[in-house]
Amino acid sequence: MIKRDGKKILAGQRIGILGKGGSGKSTVTVLMARAFQHLGYQVNILDADSTNIGLFRALGFDSQPMSLLDYFGGTEFSGGLVSCPVDNPAVLPKSTISLKSLPKRYYRQMPGLNFLVAGKIGDRGPGAGCDGPISKITRDLKIVDSGKFPVTLIDLKAGLEDFARGVVTSLDWIITVVDPNIAAIQVAVDIKNLVLDIKAGKQPATKHLKSKILIRAANRIYRQAKIKNSFALLNKIDNSRIERSLIKSLESQGVRVIGTLKQASSLSSSWLRGKALANSEAEGVLEKAINNLQKETLNEKNV
């Protein structure tokens, strides 16, 4: 296991799991959490997909915690304080949360794992507005006092919508889940290009903002972005020919592949029955992917 100064390299970092709808990003989130636990990390999982449900069951919990959207008072559409970062890019107040003081109804816990939910729009009722406020929570949330060697995995909404709202700026790494689909390849390429734009100093669109204070806030968030790189993880692969074809296509467009997960009917069955996910072979693949991230982090620090 790669360590530096006695600490695990990825401790304190935030990793976003992204992909097109149906690519299997929630499955990857769960299995990667297991792999991180096996490597001795304390894992925080943030369910930031505002439309998907059931992640808590896949992790082995009996019930879902109350959302952080409720913790922060709800959306501005319903009289609360949480705005969309596109409309108001300012940092969400009191977005650093200590698990030692957070009421237990807002998270679920088992050894080596803490689970939180940013929010769901399905339970907001008619006219509740968009899910931009959930993106604000996802972007700004910092979890402290969560255990030794903490790492945060974020199951993001499918597609690129969260990128348009600046969620990427607070991530250290992005793993794009790619299933055998040309649309999945394009998402991975688009993400790679967006990350390169941000690292090159490209600023966000701000012409819609009327306040100079908000414009400066938006630009500052992008200038201070911590994103290092994005990688692809292949999923639902049932033969080596498809694997080679996907790797060739992705790497020819500058997207590095850090692992391949095979098609597994047992995982589909677990989702269907609402059971906890487990796949030792997949978790082994993801441990190797995590080791690749640790090496990349060392390289970033040594540059």
Q: Which domains does the chain have, with CATH numbers?
A: 3-302 (3.40.50.300)
Q: What is the pLDDT of residue 113?
A: 96
pLDDT at 76 over 60: yes
Distance CA 289, CA 287 (A): 5
Distance CA 14, CA 293 (A): 12
Distance CA 108, CA 88 (A): 30
On the CB side of 18, CA atoms within 13 Å amount to 26
| pLDDT, mean of residues 78-100 | 90
| pLDDT, mean of residues 158-169 | 84
DSSP state, residue 20: S
Q: Which range (48-57, 103-112, 125-134, 163-172) has the least confidence?
A: 125-134
pTM here is 0.93
As a whole number, the mean pLDDT across the chain is 90
Q: What is the pLDDT of residue 302?
A: 64
Helices (H), 67-153: 68-71, 132-140
Number of residues that make up the chain: 303
Degrees, nearest 5: CA angle 201-203-205: 165
Distances in Å between the alpha carbon of 132 and those of 50, 93, 215? 9, 16, 18
Instruction: Report residue 112 as tokens.
Output: 């080596």
Q: What is the pLDDT of residue 18?
A: 94
Q: Other C-beta atoms within 10 Å of 22: how many?
A: 13
Q: What is the pLDDT of residue 5?
A: 45
Percentage of the residues of the chain whose pLDDT score is greater than 90: 69
Burial track 242-272 (b if 16+ CB lie within 10 A, e otherwise): bbeebbebbeeeebebbbbbbebeebeebbe
Q: Which range (7-16, 269-278, 285-294) has the least confidence?
A: 269-278
Instruction: Report residue 206 as tokens.
Output: 């701000």
Q: For residue 79, what are the contacts with CB-CB under 8 A and spacing of at least 6? A: none
| pLDDT, mean of residues 40-45 | 96
| pLDDT, mean of residues 235-239 | 95
On the CB side of 257, CA atoms within 13 Å amount to 21
Q: How confident is the model at residue 98 (pLDDT cuts 50, 70, 90)?
A: very high
Instruction: Decide if 69 contacts 82 (C-beta within 8 A).
Output: yes
Distances in Å between the alpha carbon of 247 and those of 13, 18, 147, 159? 27, 18, 36, 20
pLDDT in tens, 171-221: 999 999 999 999 999 999 999 999 999 999 999 888 999 899 999 999 999
265 against 69, higher pLDDT: 69
Distance CA 54, CA 212 (A): 41
Q: Which range (81-90, 110-119, 181-190, 226-235) has the least confidence?
A: 81-90
Phi, psi of 45 (to 5 degrees): -110, 125
pLDDT at 4 over 50: no
| pLDDT, mean of residues 30-47 | 95
Handedness of CA 194, 200, 205, 210 (dihedral sign): positive
| pLDDT, mean of residues 89-104 | 94
Helices (H), the chain: 25-38, 55-59, 68-71, 132-140, 161-164, 182-199, 212-223, 240-252, 265-273, 280-302
Q: For residue 186, what are the contacts with CB-CB under 8 A and spacing of at least 6? A: none
